[in-house]
Structure formats: structure tokens, C-alpha cells
């Protein structure tokens, strides 16, 4: 089997995946340890017998629903390649908007930053890679997630990041110029939880009580004692939660409350001072 024939197998994922061709290309990169560019320039490359066998076995697993990031063990986020396991949320492109906004909100070269529910470490590591003088702390309740984030931090050599295990603010004290979080925010009854990649992700990273708003409310309430004077709080949330999140922040006397959309044009992030 050559590369063109292998890529043509993406037809087996049509109707099962939103991105059949990209999925197959990422599986091939993983199996052949080559870049996507290599495949474009070498369509005649012949897969070895071992490569063809691994490709077929991963494609079968993808056909049965497993996320590509679990099959390859990695996912690109911002400019970084992150190790991913089934113990965390798979980083999403939508969350890169939160990183962009954080960089815009905090123009200082130095800042103390908290990332609550860091998972793979995606947000903390992306911010730290852009701002070497920032001190970024990523926290996760789940021991496997905290050790995965630590592994990503070490592999990327981002020494300005500290990863801690604990519940929200529990392992830290002091004041922060920026607190960010992509917390669980899906309503436990949401039918979206029964579809696609999300079925293979930990529910603890996805769902929250109070129609998905309970963790956002807890963080917004508690963050007040951890924010420096003029410090910013920035959340990712569901596309239909902007008004509710703004209302929570208003009730807690936050100021300069504002929201923005993700690259897909859905309301996705809200921040306040």
C-alpha cells in the first residue's frame, strides 16, 4: 500500500468522523513517524508491512469511535505538541481563543498566572511558551492529569510552569494577575455527551451541576481573594452560557465584564476584572 492508497481509506470514516481525511493523515504520521508535508511530497511512498498493519489496526479503532488523539497519544495545541491520555480532556482548537485573549488582557512581561483544571497543561504551557517571564501554575484534581501536565512541561522544557495536584485553589496562596480556566461546563443531561470523541473523555472534565455552571460559579466566587488589584479572570464556557456567566460575574461585583466568540463563531469566552 502506498501513501495515496492509505489516505484514500478516509472514505471508511465518512459519516463517523467530522474530519475523515485529517484523521487518516494524523494516523499515518504517527505510524510512519513522518510529517504531513512528507506525504504531500511523496505520494508514492510504500508503507512497510508493519506500518500497514499498525495503520489498519488504528483505522479500525477509529471506525469504532476512539479519538485520534488517543490513538496517536498526542494533539497539537497552539504551537505545541502535547501528550494526551484518556485521563484528560483532549485539547480543542476553540480553547486557543482563550490563550489569545489572555495574552491580550495581560500585556505585562511579568505576571503570576493560575490555570485551574489544567488537564494536559494546554493553556498553562501555551501561555508560558509565549511569555517566558510569566510564572504559570497549572492545577488539576486528577492525579493522572497532573502527572501528564508535568510530563508535557518537562518534555517542552517550560521551566516557568509549576504543576500542582488539588481541588481548584486549594494548593496555592497569594495573588495572581490572571486566573484562567476551561472548567467542566456541560449540563449532565446534554445529549452531546453521547456523541463522537467526547464519549471517550472523562466526565469529570466535562460536566458540572447547575446546568453546567456550578464550577464556573465556584471559581468566580473564590477567585476574588486570589486576584491582585486589577487582576483578570477568564473562562471558557458553553456557546449558550454567555449571559449566565456574565450575570454570575456581575453579582459578584466584577467589573469590565466582556465576552468573545471562538473561531467557529460560537460564544465561548468571558472575562472580567
Q: How far is the CB of 198 from ligand GLN (least distance, A)?
A: 5
Tell whether residue 234 is a contact of ligand GLN (CB under 6 A). Answer: no
Contacts with ligand GLN, 53-92, as mask; x by CB under 6 A: ------------------------------------x--x
Label residue 246 exposed, middle or buried (CB < 10 Å: 0-12, 13-18, 19+). middle
Annotation-wise, does 182 bind a ligand?
A: yes
Tell whether residue 233 is a contact of ligand GLN (CB under 6 A). Answer: no
Do the beta carbons of residue 6 and residue 28 sit within 8 Å? yes
* 40: Cβ contacts below 8 Å, ≥ 6 apart: none
Annotation-wise, does 263 bind a ligand?
A: no
Rounded to 10°, the helix 20-32/49-63 angle is 140
Q: How far is the CB of 179 from ligand GLN (least distance, A)?
A: 16
Annotation-wise, does 121 bind a ligand?
A: yes
Return the number of the residue (89 or 127) whose C-beta is nearest ligand GLN. Answer: 89
Cα angle value 108/257/265 (rounded, 5°)? 90
Return the number of the residue (3 or 117) whose C-beta is nearest ligand GLN. Answer: 117
Residues composing the chain: 273
Give the SS3 label for residue 84. coil
CA–CA distance, 148 with 101 (Å, rounded to integer): 25
Phi, psi of 82 (to 5 degrees): -110, 140
Tell whether residue 99 is a contact of ligand GLN (CB under 6 A). Answer: no
Return the number of the residue (104 or 240) whose C-beta is nearest ligand GLN. Answer: 240
Tell whether residue 121 is a contact of ligand GLN (CB under 6 A). Answer: no
The residue number with the shortest CB distance to ligand GLN is: 206
CA dihedral in degrees (162, 102, 238, 185; nearest 10)?
A: 20
Q: How far is the CB of 185 from ligand GLN (least distance, A)?
A: 5
Site size for ligand GLN, by CB under 6 A?
Answer: 8
Site for ligand GLN in 172-211 (CB under 6 A): 182, 184-186, 198, 206
Tell whether residue 138 is a contact of ligand GLN (CB under 6 A). Answer: no
Label residue 261 exposed, middle or buried (CB < 10 Å: 0-12, 13-18, 19+). middle
Q: Where do contacts with ligand GLN occur on this chain (CB under 6 A)?
A: 89, 92, 182, 184-186, 198, 206
Residues placed in the known binding site for substrate: 182-185
Residues placed in the known binding site: 117-121, 140, 168, 182-185
Amino acid at each position: 500500500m502506498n501513501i495515496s492508497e492509505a489516505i484514500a481509506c478516509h472514505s471508511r470514516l465518512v459519516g463517523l468522523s467530522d474530519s475523515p481525511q485529517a484523521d487518516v493523515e494524523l494516523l499515518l504520521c504517527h505510524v510512519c513517524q513522518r510529517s504531513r508535508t512528507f506525504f504531500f511530497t511523496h505520494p508514492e511512498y510504500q508503507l512497510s508491512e508493519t506500518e500497514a498493519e499498525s495503520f489498519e489496526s488504528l483505522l479500525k479503532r477509529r471506525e469504532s469511535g476512539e479519538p485520534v488523539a488517543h490513538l496517536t497519544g498526542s494533539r497539537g495545541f497552539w504551537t505545541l505538541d502535547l501528550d494526551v491520555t484518556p485521563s484528560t480532556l483532549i485539547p480543542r482548537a476553540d480553547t486557543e481563543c482563550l490563550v489569545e485573549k489572555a495574552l491580550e488582557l495581560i500585556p505585562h512581561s511579568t505576571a503570576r498566572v493560575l490555570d485551574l483544571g489544567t488537564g494536559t497543561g494546554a493553556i498553562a504551557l501555551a501561555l508560558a511558551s509565549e511569555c517566558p517571564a510569566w510564572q504559570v501554575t497549572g492545577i488539576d484534581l486528577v492525579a493522572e492529569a497532573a502527572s501528564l501536565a508535568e510530563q508535557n512541561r518537562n518534555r517542552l522544557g517550560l521551566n516557568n510552569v509549576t504543576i500542582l495536584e488539588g481541588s481548584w485553589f486549594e494548593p496555592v496562596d497569594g495573588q495572581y494577575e490572571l486566573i484562567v480556566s476551561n472548567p467542566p461546563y456541560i449540563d449532565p443531561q446534554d445529549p452531546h455527551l453521547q456523541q463522537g470523541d467526547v464519549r471517550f473523555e472523562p466526565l469529570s472534565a466535562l460536566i458540572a451541576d447547575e446546568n453546567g455552571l456550578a464550577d464556573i460559579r465556584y471559581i468566580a466566587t473564590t477567585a476574588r481573594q486570589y486576584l491582585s488589584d486589577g487582576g483578570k479572570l477568564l473562562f471558557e464556557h458553553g456557546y449558550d452560557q454567555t449571559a449566565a456567566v456574565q450575570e454570575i460575574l456581575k453579582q459578584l461585583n466584577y467589573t469590565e465584564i466582556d465576552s468573545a466568540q471562538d473561531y467557529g463563531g460560537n460564544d465561548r469566552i468571558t472575562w472580567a476584572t
